[in-house]
Structure 1
């Protein structure tokens, strides 16, 4: 990612979480992901949280629920929330479920990116 214009720290060893810097244009991330692929854990924390009109969009909500259901159907049990947060670790169960639910995740990512591009205009 760094070699393709995204100045990002190494993934967190415990969670596999990748933190992208604030203000990073989605187009720059997309170009780097086309060359490098996405984070294999699927866990990315962007410096800029998508606005409520994206996160709360009915299409996003439906796709997110479909993806979460798929993960559960494929053997992944999400961690319990503690004080409003949960640590997601890149366990073999999570990785296998993510692999099985790739289509659902890609649909969610695609819709999120499309809505973000509309908002950025």
Structure 2
């Protein structure tokens, strides 16, 4: 939700209300789960997706930190430590995490656009 809200310039409730939210979240979470399994940590995909969706409904109009950094304060984000870390670790384990890699690339592109306008 952090990166998607920054990319879409929306709050948690706005993204959660879209028809695409659960599918996008599920793909991202699936890659987190796969990396976690390689690190001997068990995560339940369905449980995580439901937790994220319920959290978004509860906090509603909140803009995540990545959105605040990028859209409100025009500064680089922590994407490399979140989605970027999953993308890097997956490569080390010999598989791809295309959703997390793409989100990381899109956030960096947006950082180049937004942060140079400051």
> Higher relative CO (CA 8 A, sep ≥ 6), structure 1 or 2?
2
Give the strand-richer structure, 1 or 2. 1
Give the helix-richer structure, 1 or 2. 2
